[in-house]
Amino acid sequence: MDEKERTMQISERLMTVASFVSDGSRVADIGTDHAYVPISLMLDNRIICALAMDVREGPLARAKKHIREYQLENSIHVRLSDGLSAYQKGEADSIVISGMGGALTERILTEGAGKYEGVRELILSPQSEIFLVRIWLRKNGWQIERETMLVQDGKYYTVIRAVPGEDGEARQVEDQYGGYLLKHKHPVLLNYLLQERETIHKILVMLKKQIAESQNQAHIENRIGELTDKLLLVEEALLYYEM
């Protein structure tokens, strides 16, 4: 394979995930799917080696195929694993978990307890319920050293780099929207918050119009209460941009 072919075009989200991995790392990519992240990192000579792990045989077969195409069989090893179950302590410096929901990411991290010796960083990109992951990190001796937010195909994505350490006092607004992003006044988060505020306002107006005619007023009132609480949290987050 010539030098031109030893490059890989990956999405902006995966490119961002890869960029958060420290140079010279041994990587364990959990839920690797096509193994795009470890392949890209190896092609850029940024990591020493990698484990590409997935719970399903189908994605692992695709990963193996791509790894062979780039002649990286000696550097990236494929392993069937439910989360970190087949990972052995000390095999990696950097653990990547990307593209899963927040609850599943939290479960994988919890079930991996006792396996983090020697791990210098967790690179995480949950696609939902990100607050669950931030809370887990804070409660389990990890601090968010870096975080970013991006938009791809109209969807917002967050990427986190956590390292061992204490992350300070808990604040609901920072768990929900990211203390690092808020304190650094991240512009993509600002756009997200403004959209959230507008959407919540519109839904509240609609619900308040419906409540008089509805047969299920209690349900609508509960929903109004939930959205009002959410709106207050959005407004609290927006205050960071005024500091």
Q: How many CB atoms lie within 10 A of CB 210?
A: 14
Spatial contact of 91 and 115, defined as CB atoms under 8 Å apart: no
Residue 3 pLDDT level (bands cut at 50, 70, 90) = very low
Give all strands of the β-sheet with 76-80 in edge-to-edge order: 76-80, 47-54, 25-30, 94-98, 121-125, 155-164, 142-152
Sign of CA dihedral 58, 69, 16, 141: positive
CA pair distance 38, 65, nearest whole angstrom: 14
Question: 182-198 pLDDT, tens per residue?
Answer: 999 999 999 999 999 99
Owner of token pair 């768990």: 175
One-letter amino acid of 177 = Y
Global pTM exceeds 0.95: no
pLDDT at 170 over 90: no
Reported as a single tens digit per residue, the pLDDT across 79-104 is: 999 999 999 999 999 999 999 999 99
Triad 48, 50, 89: Cα angle to 5°: 105
Q: Above 90 in pLDDT, residue 211?
A: no
44, pLDDT greater than 60: yes
Q: How confident is the model at residue 4 (pLDDT cuts 50, 70, 90)?
A: very low
Burial of 34 (0-12, 13-18, 19+ CB in 10 A): middle
- Percent of the chain scored above 70 by pLDDT? 95
More confident of the two residues 33 and 97: 97
Half-sphere exposure of residue 243: CA atoms within 13 angstroms, side-chain side = 9
pLDDT band at 41 (very low <50, low <70, confident <90, very high): very high
Largest Cα–Cα separation, the chain: 70
Quick one: pLDDT at residue 124?
A: 98
Q: Tell me the per-residue pLDDT of 137-153, one tens digit each, with 9 for 90 and over.
A: 999 999 999 999 999 99
Contacts of residue 58, defined as CB under 8 A and 6 or more positions apart, other chains included, come to none
Over residues 158-165, the mean pLDDT reads: 97
User: Which CA distances in Å does 179 have to 20, 45, 50, 88, 97?
Assistant: 18, 32, 30, 32, 20
